[in-house]
Amino acid sequence: MAPTQVNTSGYNTPESELESFIEVHPTATRRPYTLTVQSEHTSYTDEHITSKFTNRGANVSVVDGQFLVTPTAQSYEFQTERNVSKTGLLMIGVGGNNGTTLCATILANRHNITWHTKGGIERPNYIGSVLRASTVQIGTDPSTGKEVHVPISDILPMVHPNDLVLGGWDISGVPLDKAMQRAQVLDYDLQRQVAPYMALIGKPLPSIYYPDFIAANQEARADNLIPGDNKQAHLDHIRADIRKFKATNDLDRVVVFWTANTERYSDIIVGVNDTADNLLASIKNSHSEISPSTLFAVAAILEGEPFVNGAPQNTFVPGVIELAEREKSFIGGDDLKSGQTKLKSVLAEFLVNAGIKPLSIASYNHLGNNDGHNLSAERQFKSKEISKSSVVDDMVNANHLLFKRPEIGPKGVPVGKGEHPDHIIVIKYVPAVGDSKRAIDEYYSEIFCGGRSTINIFNECEDSLLATPLILDLTILTELLSRVKYRKGEQTEFAPLYPVLSLLSYMLKAPLVKPGTDVVNSLNRQRNALEAFLKACVGLEGSSDLLLDTRIW
């Protein structure tokens, strides 16, 4: 993909030549950023929003079976740059279902393209995006007593999806207009109208292909490759692509996003990928256990640009995390949480919080897109199975009344695994259903006095149309978090956030977190954490459902 062609807002083809194919409308008017907090804890300049926030918690110790709780309070200041970065999105796998769907839907929104379906006229939107299509409660109108809700994107200045500059790599050299047709996700009339704009983006940049990491059935697509097998040369090539894309489009920030095929898990090998220095040396030596996604992550980190992994493999081997810490470059992942797993994180929490004990959770799904084709190989399926299987762990571990914890042996080391629901995951490739995935879940639980309850759910979803808004949210949120700095307590200088962006967890199946900290999979807790952080950046407290005014005289 030639970098000079990626910004379709500056395409070279005259509009008069496009009008025979497309009904062109002006880009939708931007809503101005309008939220202002009037508080001694919040201040505004032309450059920054600065807020003071107190993080309240509690320390707990157990003495002779008694819980001793000590409330804690830690003061923070947050400083957010008000000027939104001119942002590019470089996708690995841009020619796949997710990549082409995202490009096409952004172009449809940017040019306000409407299209005909058998149900009538459809208009472009960003439904499915948490940041663009959901709201947050910010307070109460004193004149009416009613709660006031605003779009989440109004809390802090954020990139508008229409303004993203699009590009990326793919092992398939099919131009994006043809790749969109191959994906068979969008309605024909929308494809017809958006195709000339997709053609202006052109052919994806050549990518890297290491056959050992993805299914053999993908080999036929691999016709657009960076030559050779020298992994250091591949790393240098990708870094140069990022720099050229950024310079050509005059960008402030580039988010590099893996939306390509699921890879097999990489083996963690001492001396190979366990530290940053070992990882860089292994790339220089073209070690066989360095995966394509890890190579792209390293390239982004070394260029100082954020990298997000939207697939389930262990891209972030220990050496990558250490490198991100050293370079103070942002990373996030893993695996987009769009349908079946998102529902599971809600329903499992509902059962456990209701005092009901899930005994087994059996999940089956089949799909017919290229993702399903790749996952039909055992090692790639194993990566997906791992990311899906841990989604209920924190909820189970939080309730020792229902699930016995492992015995604690000498020196505090757990003995055994403790109780856990049987958790089975099956994925099958069925070409006929295309991008329309079918999922069946059975929750078999123990209830009062030895009784049993079974909940069965059948879910049919258009896979890429659920996943694409998550890519937008992750990209927009990543750019925002790169503009947020903090200082804690008596610190005098503001510092960037920790490189592992765990605030992205709401959109991810297997959230990457700071080493040594617990993973939170509960969807409600993830959403609350995101809301509370965004509010803290403007000096507001997190939402309270106490509704104290309605409880007292």
| Residues involved in catalysis | 335, 384, 437, 509
Cα-to-chain-centroid distance, residue 417: 30
Nearest Cα to Cα of residue 429 among 376, 508, 389, 387:
376
Q: Prior bond to 549 cis, omega within 30? A: no
| CB-count burial class (<10 Å; 0-12, 13-18, 19+) for 48 | middle
The tokens for 382 are 């194993």
- Using the CB atoms, write b or e for 256-293: b if 16+ within 10 Å: bbbbbbbbbbbeeeeebbbbbebbbbbbeeebeebbbb
Look at the alpha carbons of 371, 375, 379, 385 in this order and tell me if their dihedral is positive or negative. Answer: positive
- Strand residue runs (E) in 339-451: 357-367, 407-408, 414-415, 422-429, 436-446
DSSP 339-356: SHHHHHHHHHHHHHHTT-
- At position 265, the amino acid (one-letter code) is Y
The DSSP secondary structure of 187-250, one letter per residue, reads -HHHHHHHHHHHHHH-SPEEB---TTTS-GGGGGG--SB-SSS-HHHHHHHHHHHHHHHHHHTT
The helix or strand, by DSSP H or E, that contains position 470, with its residue range, turns out to be helix 463-481
Phi, psi angle pair for 252, to nearest 5°? -90, -30
Instruction: Give the whole-angstrom CA distance, residue 468 versus residue 102.
Output: 6
